[in-house]
Structure 1
């Protein structure tokens, strides 16, 4: 996870390094601004990912996650298929319900939404996005979003729809992931401000995976088909050496997680870490992790 808080002239080297070091994927957040770094520059993910696509050749790229707080499915799909074309099929569209703690949840509409309304909006966003990725022209009149003959022929010319990763922890969100996602995403604790021990987080993710499996069973889908992505927002200090990180990764692989996303080390502030951490993990831990 590489935060979009630096000018490309500086940030580009990290996206290129992620590929050169052998990481499988590189992601970024989608916000208008972000609480911990609200007074810093903050760039839109789709131009950033376009630049990353032009600077790399192999690594998968994506949003974790795009938010209906300030996105519309029509423009989101158009941006997504454009980045996917530029990257030659390496883009994954991650979608979530939208954070209420990042500080940008009402930047477009100041009207607060209840939890039920946010859930309904998320469901409509995912379902309409999925339709537009599969159908060449879509007309939709919903409670939160509308589309009139929205055309996405480029996406429908693919052999398979552009992959969507659905972030969810609750029953309805997990049902959406089971029906529409090529991947499922969790950030662990549903409330990101809640501090959990590593053991509590592992137990929580295991429980969420159980809910996903049940949702897939109800949807008539084999959960093995889906990637299961855990975004590590609080990597334990003791897991930051290559050898202990391998054991950390093994604990999540053992419960069914297929992909771990860790934050690229920043020099100061949130996600501050040794700048060499990513290099050491890539050199000394990735080969063993890839064999899990």
Structure 2
């Protein structure tokens, strides 16, 4: 494992347990040595919609109370059911409660699913979702910098909104912007301390890794076109979007981390093993990964 290219490793913990059980996962995530730990931000997710399921904001506030070093965040929050003015208040509070350990993952939101329909709205087509996401970021970004915002858009309105006292971090909470297509990638280049991708669903593992490499190359081109220094933008990949679960074994996890580094990613994400259904696996693999793989992943964060 010593030959691994240094990257940062993150773990995603679904908010699917009561806190009496979930708290131990967050503590262990820090003890294992993960650089960052995340949770989903949904009102309900896929066939787990019938629960149990808990909100991301209080979950992260509670996680901040049982950890002291690991960075915490949403993977990812979206405009599907959030208004940027209110969300800025929640994010500001989370940053304060965590002592400046919050990283905010944000994205345009899924095309379909419970979040799109539970409030009675109609799911937006892809282009409109990115239009809405653009407005979301245009309001959220300055509010987190403690600027007043008045904005009248197609999807959002803000009238003399306040972000006081602003983020604990300077100049604001870092954003990791999700994107598969060029418009979302350009938003990541504009607003993001990082970019995150799932690459897309594919049946072939080799095809998925080829697509991951191509996606990273496209983002590099966008950074160059916008004049953004690539050393200032982290690049995250969700390993579990691939056809093989990343924590199926420590050996496979190490292989996946190595392949991600070869593609140019600075950070990798895996999901905490669950007893069944999505991300089904054995928590004993985490012990093995913590002992044999994570110590070799010592990449220093840039600016986070």
- Tell me the TM-score normalised to structure 1 length: 0.93
**CA separation in 1, counterparts of 2:245 and 2:59?**
29
1:13 aligns with 2:24: yes
**CA separation in 2, counterparts of 1:230 and 1:200?**
15
Q: Could you tell me which of 78, 90, 93 is aligned with 2:104?
A: 93
Q: SS of the counterpart of 2:124?
A: coil
The alpha-carbon deviation at position 156 of structure 1 amounts to: 5.4
The alpha-carbon deviation at position 253 of structure 1 amounts to: 0.5
Map residues 138-217 of structure 1 onto 2, 5 A cutoff.
138-155=149-166, 158-189=169-200, 194-217=201-224
The alpha-carbon deviation at position 139 of structure 1 amounts to: 1.1
2:8 alignment counterpart: none
Map residues 1-292 of structure 1 onto 2, 5 A cutoff.
1-155=12-166, 158-189=169-200, 194-234=201-241, 236=244, 240-290=248-298
The alpha-carbon deviation at position 215 of structure 1 amounts to: 1.5
The alpha-carbon deviation at position 158 of structure 1 amounts to: 4.1
The alpha-carbon deviation at position 110 of structure 1 amounts to: 2.0
Q: SS of the counterpart of 1:282?
A: helix
Q: SS of the counterpart of 2:165?
A: helix
| Kept in 2: contact 1:68–1:98 (CA 8 A) | yes
For 1:32-56, what per-residue CA distance to the aligned partner results, in whole angstroms no more than 9, with x for missing partners?
Answer: 0111211111111000000000110
**CA separation in 1, counterparts of 2:279 and 2:74?**
18
| Kept in 2: contact 1:127–1:180 (CA 8 A) | no
* Cα pair distance change 1:93/1:156, threshold 3 Å: closer
The alpha-carbon deviation at position 109 of structure 1 amounts to: 4.0
Q: SS of the counterpart of 1:200?
A: helix
For 1:208-256, what per-residue CA distance to the aligned partner results, in whole angstroms no more than 9, with x for missing partners?
Answer: 1122112212221112211111112246268732233212211111111
- Tell me the TM-score normalised to structure 2 length: 0.90
**CA separation in 2, counterparts of 1:230 and 1:11?**
24
**CA separation in 1, counterparts of 2:189 and 2:246?**
34
